[in-house]
Amino acid sequence: MKWMNGNLIDKNMEVNAGAANYAYQEVNRTGRAKVRADGADDIPFATIEGRNNILDIAPIKIGIFYTQEELQRARFQNTIDVVSNKVAAAREGHDRTLNDYIREGIPGKAIYGMTNIPGIYKADALTPNWADPATTPTQIIDSFTAAYNAQVDLTDEIERGTHVVMPIATKQALSTKRTNPGFNDDSVLETLGKLFPNVQTWESEYGMRDAGANGGSALLIYRKETNRVRAMFPEMMVPRAPFIRHGKTEIVFNTRFGGVMSPRPRSVFLLSGV
């Protein structure tokens, strides 16, 4: 659950917990400043191309229930507290769901994930199926280089990815394939790390296996910075007062998820077919 645990994206709770939606300014491009003579009274203002986005917030509820008999049996047998055990299990299911939402968003709502934020760059790999034994190290390196350089070029060198997330099988292939067999022991992944020192993290994540175009595999190149992308959580596992129904004590936990906010969507590049 690498999206949910904060390894791959920062989480933010700056939106009011009771809000139904929230707005933010998306910036696509800024204009250039002009040099004016000292004393000039026609100071130029920088232009900004972008739009104001309004995104939904989805309530996500999970609950547990327990009976007095369960509590008594746990105490009698000196076993793990049944309530704590159930809360831990519910939290795991909750986090797995949100992990997928952070990656893919929630279909049918204006709630987007990392792979479908409006305005991000998308392309197909020059050579697909990097885990295929027939795909050469040169083809992989050329495909990644083309994608990384495209992001840099399209943003006038403003955006340079610091994080790369790929399918587990893809990372395994990059870690085992040798760039120059017989000459050195560098894997393709080690070679990419040397060619792109600005990338701080090369990570794998199970959901990237079908996060690309037409349900295929994909790789993300992005800047992990709060002013670029962040996952919005107005509320996170807030417990409501327990209540008794049909002889069972129930506890409901509320989470509110607002998707991935991306003031700078051009900082994200989705490369499909890897």
Q: Where in the chain is the domain with CATH 3.30.2400.30?
A: 11-28+48-114+227-265
- Alpha helix segments (H runs only) across the chain: 68-77, 82-104, 137-154, 168-176, 188-195
SS3 70: helix
Q: Give the pLDDT confidence score for residue 256 in this predicted structure.
A: 92
Q: Give the pLDDT confidence score for residue 38 in this predicted structure.
A: 58
Write the pLDDT tens digit of every residue in 216-265. Answer: 999 999 999 999 999 999 999 888 888 888 888 888 889 999 999 998 89
pTM of the model: 0.84
SS3 205: coil
Query: Quick one: 128 exposed, middle or buried, by C-beta within 10 A (0-12, 13-18, 19+)?
Result: middle
Write the pLDDT tens digit of every residue in 167-213. Answer: 999 999 999 999 998 778 899 999 999 999 999 999 999 999 999 99
pLDDT class of 43 with cuts at 50, 70, 90 = low
Residue 267: DSSP 8-state:
G
Amino acid letter, 236: M
User: Tokens for 110?
Assistant: 């204006």
Q: Give the pLDDT confidence score for residue 205 in this predicted structure.
A: 97
pLDDT (average), residues 72-85: 66
Render 90-118 in DSSP notation, one character per residue: HHHHHHHHHHHHHHH-BTTTTB--TTS-T
SS3 242: coil
Q: Give the pLDDT confidence score for residue 163 in this predicted structure.
A: 98
What radius of gyration do the chain's Cα atoms show?
A: 23
Q: Which numeric CATH code is attached to 11-28+48-114+227-265?
A: 3.30.2400.30
pLDDT (average), residues 132-159: 95
Q: Give the pLDDT confidence score for residue 25 in this predicted structure.
A: 76
